[in-house]
Amino acid sequence: MARKSQAERVHDRTGADLTINSRVAIAIVDDPYSAAGEKIRVVRSIRHDPLADMLQRRLIDDALYLAGRKWQELAERCTIGAIRAIDPGKEAVDGGKLPEALTDSQIKAFRELNSAHKRLGEWGSALMRDLLENNMAMNKMAEKYGLITARQANFLSLRIRECLEDLAKLWAFAG
């Protein structure tokens, strides 16, 4: 029997106590308490993560999941302006320089998202924003767009999958 290397070991530290109506998935992550790169199996909530929920239910594959995560990462980088706390009780200090208006990373993210918008079209981009940036569930999206029949809801899920496939091809996650 071959001995597993330190990095290949996965410790199961999942709990069995879940609340009623929990929506969870098993994930394998780096162990924060191990220095040797060991992995642990954890239970992660997917209630407010529709993309992970779709992956868990096998509605999408890994390539589509990665494409969705890339969209989310680009959208996050496109956020303009750093959020800083201001204490009005403290005296104002001169001498600070103004932050750079747009960083190179933000410009690159804007360009990548712009090419994705052109590929998906107006409605496809709106669907991706609702799903990936606003974390909107399918039933809420169907309600938003006035899709009430089962056939319309099925069309919506097919259109979302088609958009994710286009993104996966654009960013070379799928052939």
How far is CA 71 from each of CA 34, 52, 133, rounded to the nearest angstrom? 31, 14, 8
Q: What is the pLDDT of residue 92?
A: 62
d(CA 11, CA 128): 35
Q: How much of the chain exceeds pLDDT 70, in percent?
A: 75
In a domain, 6, yes or no: no
74 or 38: which leads in pLDDT: 74
pLDDT at 12: 63
Residue 54 main-chain phi, psi, to 5 deg? -65, -40
- pLDDT value of residue 167: 97
Domain-embedded: residue 22: no
How many structural domains does the chain have? 1
Residue 83 lies in a domain: no
What pLDDT does residue 175 have?
Answer: 72
- The answer to whether position 115 is within a domain reads yes
Tell me what the mean pLDDT of segment 83-95 comes to: 59
Residue type, 26: I
Q: Does residue 97 lie within any of the structural domains? A: no
- At 41 the pLDDT is 81
Q: In the structure encoding, which two tokens stand for residue 142, read together? A: 């169907």
Residue 25 located in a structural domain: no
User: Distance between the two ends of the chain, CA-based, in angstroms?
Assistant: 38
Rg of the chain over all Cα atoms, to the nearest angstrom: 21
Q: Is residue 67 part of a domain?
A: yes
User: The pTM is what?
Assistant: 0.73
pLDDT of residue 45: 73
- Full domain range(s) for residue 118: 49-78+103-170
pLDDT band at residue 1 using 50, 70 and 90 as cut-offs = very low
pLDDT, average across residues 144-163 = 95
Residue 88 lies in a domain: no
Check residue 26 and give left, alpha or beta (phi > 0: left; psi -120 to 50: alpha): beta
